[in-house]
């Protein structure tokens, strides 16, 4: 895990160096253009002020105007580089990576004689030394499903049984934005689930999980975020949810959203782009650039791309459910490899932004209920259809919140647990709304309970029938005014 964090720092440093190269290239280009136009020949007061006032070289000769200009230009380039590095260091420090920030400042030539940089280094060291370790047993883990863009389409038609599900399980964009801002105001900092662990090896070569070290300034609290079912299922169609994730030329993620009248619009219509933007604007909302962990099934594909092999298997056509058949009918040009390439582009862009991935089982299984054989077949489908796109994962986020066993240590004789371990899963998450946090560290695995910030819970808290969110926000203050009363479960 440390390695990954280091990688993040190195990546940030490389980014800064890349930015420098661009700046230098731009300045050189501007100079070339100016010279061509003869503009550079004109004396420039601001440049002259920075130039050597004597205007003489070591031999005491009058240096030419051209030499003075070149010197001034080099000086300006250097200042630009210095500013770029300082800005990047500030961003690193805001994301609590003080050592990386200091390391980066020290790459600047003459940093030890630069008073402003010395002051920054002292400031970062002081803040770093004031940080306290986070108790990983007190890290809350919240989760959402895809966000409701249009509450009327999601909730209004009460004769439709799906709207009851939407109103219970789903959170609206307004609610998400309010919660994110309020948790930030209260000092919550998003950390990676992997930051909670340090994987070590004992003297016998056994893997031992130890609590990870997260250092935060006083008053800050860590939380983990997960997103369930980021697949844009066919069943969401027409209910006011985004329908796809896409990547722009700069590597930023955005959504496709089909409005009620059928027109297609693009923008920030779900957690991924909204959270990316929020953290871009508030770098101190995230610990070293961590984002959430995204739990994916496979049966309808992922991120709105129909990546599952079942869509392309004519032999299996008769067994497809009505949703898939209908979709194939409407999309006769469907090409499995193109869908997979599109999803891969999204996954790669998400990883570059700090997002991580987990299995949610391929078929949204109740792992406690299904047979071992069903779990095995399902896991292989996930490996064949989802893993090639998002990469291998050590995390499984149980669908329906149904766990393999009771709370605490897993029973080693539990065959399903043994099987999932063999498949590389060592982090297991369920749903547990009863406590603000619930983390159990086994010798070589971790279990964590997650809190559903869904419509039902928000509504029940907002009207005072439940009180289990007040450590995060005031539900009455963040609830979407367009949300109708949520029926009892
Ligand atoms: Zn789910």
Q: How far, in Å, CA of 262 to CA of 268, rounded? A: 18
* Contacts (Cβ under 8 Å, ≥6 apart) of 481: 174
Determine the structural domain holding residue 354 and report its residue range. 136-478
Give yes or no: residues 258 and 402 share one domain.
yes
486 occurs within a structural domain: no
Q: Token pair of 363, please?
A: 């078929």
Cα 148 to Cα 167: distance, rounded to the nearest angstrom: 9
- The SS3 of residue 216 is strand
Its sign, for the CA torsion 283, 284, 287, 290, is negative
Q: Does 63 share its domain with 194?
A: no
- Residues less than 5 Å from ion ligand 1, measured at CB: 228-229, 399
Provide CB contacts within 8 A for 400, sequence distance 6+. Answer: 364, 366
* Mean pLDDT per 10-residue segment, the chain (489 residues): 48 54 52 45 42 49 82 92 96 98 96 96 98 97 98 94 93 98 98 96 93 97 98 96 98 98 98 98 98 98 97 87 93 96 98 98 97 98 98 97 87 93 96 88 94 96 96 98 89
What is the C-alpha to C-alpha distance for residues 190 and 292, in angstroms, rounded to an integer? 8
- pLDDT tens sequence across 177-228: 999 999 999 999 999 999 999 999 999 999 999 999 999 999 999 999 999 9
- Which residue has 């779900």 as its token pair? 270
Q: Are 270 and 283 in contact (CB under 8 A)?
A: no
CA of 267 to the centre of ligand 1 (A): 24
Give me ligand 1 centre to Cα 397, in Å. 9
If asked whether residues 95 and 172 sit together in one domain, one would say: no
Q: Are residues 246 and 394 in the same domain?
A: yes
Choosing from 81, 115, 130, the residue where a domain stops is 130
Residues 51, 67 contacting (CB under 8 angstroms): no
Helix (H) or strand (E) holding 161: helix 161-169
C-alpha 89/C-alpha 264 separation (Å) is 40
Question: Where residue 292 sits, what CATH number does that domain have?
Answer: 3.20.20.370
Centre of ligand 1 to C-alpha 402, Å, is 10
Look up tokens 């949810």; give the residue.
241
Cα–Cα distances (Å) from 26 to 37, 127, 128, 249, in that order, read 17, 35, 35, 20
Vertex 480 angle, CA 479 and 484, to 5°: 100
Task: Tell whether 488 is covered by a domain.
Answer: no
Whether residue 64 lies inside any domain: the answer is yes
Single residue among 75, 95, 130 that ends a domain in this structure: 130
How confident is the model at residue 228, as a pLDDT?
98
- Domain end (from 66, 99, 130): 130
Q: What is the pLDDT of residue 50?
A: 45
Q: 39 lies in a domain?
A: yes
On whether both 47 and 156 belong to a single domain, the answer is no
DSSP annotation of 38 reads T
263 with 209, same domain: the answer is yes
| Distance from the alpha carbon of residue 366 to the mean position of ligand 1, in angstroms | 10
Distance 241 CA to ligand 1 centre (A): 15
Shared-domain flag, residues 105 and 225: no
Looking at residue 411, what DSSP letter applies? P
Q: Verify that 192 and 281 share a domain, yes or no.
A: yes
The verdict on residue 485 lying in a domain is no
Task: Tell whether 123 and 140 lie within a shared domain.
Answer: no
Please give the Cα distance from 269 to 256 (Å, whole number). Answer: 8
State residue 181's pLDDT score: 98
**Is residue 49 in some structural domain?**
yes
pLDDT score of 44: 43
Are 8 and 111 in a shared domain?
yes
How far does the centroid of ligand 1 lie from the alpha carbon of residue 142, in Å?
A: 14
Residues 102 and 166 in one domain: no
**Ligand 1 center to 305 CA (angstroms):** 17
Residue 222 lies in a domain: yes
Cβ atoms within 10 Å of 345's Cβ, excluding its own: 17
Q: What is the pTM of this model?
A: 0.86
Residues 349, 453: one domain?
A: yes
- Start-to-end Cα distance in the chain: 40
Structural domain total, the chain: 2
Strand bridging mode 244-247 / 253-258: antiparallel
- Tell me how far the alpha carbon of residue 2 lies from the centroid of ligand 1, in angstroms: 30
Q: What is the pLDDT of residue 27?
A: 52
Asked whether residue 52 is domain-assigned, the answer is yes
Name the percent of the chain in helix, strand, coil, to the closest 5: 45, 15, 35
* Ligand 1 center from residue 430 Cα (angstroms): 11
């Amino acid at each position: 895990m440390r390695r990954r964090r280091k990688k993040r720092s190195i990546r940030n440093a490389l980014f800064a160096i890349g930015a420098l190269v661009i700046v230098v290239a731009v300045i050189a280009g501007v100079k070339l253009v100016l010279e061509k136009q003869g503009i550079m020949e004109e004396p420039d007061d601001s440049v002259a002020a920075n130039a050597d006032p004597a205007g003489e070289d070591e031999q005491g000769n009058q240096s030419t105007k051209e030499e003075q200009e070149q010197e001034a230009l080099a000086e300006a380039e250097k200042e630009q580089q210095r500013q770029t590095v300082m800005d990047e260091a500030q961003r690193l420090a805001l994301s609590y990576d003080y050592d990386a920030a200091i390391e980066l400042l020290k790459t600047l030539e003459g940093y030890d004689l630069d008073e402003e940089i010395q002051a920054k280094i002292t400031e970062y060291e002081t803040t770093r030394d004031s940080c306290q370790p986070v108790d990983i047993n007190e890290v809350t883990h919240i989760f959402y499903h895809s966000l409701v863009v249009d509450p009327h389409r999601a909730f209004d038609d009460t004769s439709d049984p799906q709207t009851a599900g939407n109103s219970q399980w789903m959170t609206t964009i307004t609610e998400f934005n309010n919660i994110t801002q309020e948790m930030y105001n209260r000092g919550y900092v998003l950390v990676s689930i992997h930051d909670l662990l340090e994987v070590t090896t004992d003297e016998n070569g056994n893997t031992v999980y130890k609590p990870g070290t997260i250092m935060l300034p006083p008053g800050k609290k860590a939380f983990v975020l997960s997103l369930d079912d980021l697949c844009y299922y066919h069943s969401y169609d027409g209910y006011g949810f985004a329908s796809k994730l896409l990547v722009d030329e700069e590597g930023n993620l955005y959504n496709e959203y089909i409005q009620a009248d059928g027109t297609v619009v693009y923008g920030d219509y779900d957690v991924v782009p909204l959270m990316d933007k929020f953290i871009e604007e508030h770098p101190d909302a995230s610990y070293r650039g961590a984002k959430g962990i995204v739990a994916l099934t496979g049966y309808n594909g992922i991120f709105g791309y129909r990546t599952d092999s079942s869509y392309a298997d004519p032999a299996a056509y008769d067994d497809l459910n009505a949703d898939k058949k209908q979709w194939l009918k409407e999309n006769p040009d469907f090409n499995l490899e193109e869908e997979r390439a599109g999803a891969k582009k999204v996954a790669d862009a998400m990883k570059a932004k700090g997002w991580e991935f987990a299995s949610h089982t391929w078929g949204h299984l109740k792992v406690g209920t299904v047979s071992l054989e069903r779990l095995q077949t399902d896991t292989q489908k996930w490996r064949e259809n989802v893993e090639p796109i998002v990469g291998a994962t050590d995390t499984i986020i149980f669908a329906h919140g149904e766990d393999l066993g009771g709370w605490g240590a897993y029973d080693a004789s539990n065959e399903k647990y043994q099987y999932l371990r063999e498949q590389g899963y060592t982090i297991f998450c369920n749903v547990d709304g009863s406590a603000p946090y619930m983390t159990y560290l086994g010798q070589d695995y971790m279990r964590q309970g997650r809190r559903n910030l869904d419509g039902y819970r928000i509504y029940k808290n907002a009207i005072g029938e439940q009180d289990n969110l007040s450590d995060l926000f005031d539900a009455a203050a963040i609830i979407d005014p367009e949300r109708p009363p949520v029926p009892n479960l």
